[in-house]
Amino acid sequence: MNEPNLENIDDYYALQGEKKKVVFAIVISSLIMGVVYAVSMSLYTPEEPTSIDKTYKKVPMR
């Protein structure tokens, strides 16, 4: 019984034809979605107000 080798796989050396186009399309679409996500997060992230007065004049007692 022989162990499987990578050389026995049909597209071990290079992707060819339709498979190459599909892999290329998936990689490009993933990169585009990542850029769109990064830009939208940087544009639509709400900023916290910077001028909040956090000083207390009197400690509340019960």
pLDDT for res 33: 97
- 11-62 pLDDT, tens digit per residue, is 666 777 888 888 899 999 999 999 999 998 888 767 666 666 667 677 777 7
Q: How many CB atoms lie within 10 A of CB 15?
A: 13
pLDDT for res 37: 94
Q: Report the distance separating Cα 14 and Cα 10, nearest Å.
A: 9
Burial of 21 (0-12, 13-18, 19+ CB in 10 A): exposed
pLDDT for res 52: 66
pLDDT for res 2: 73
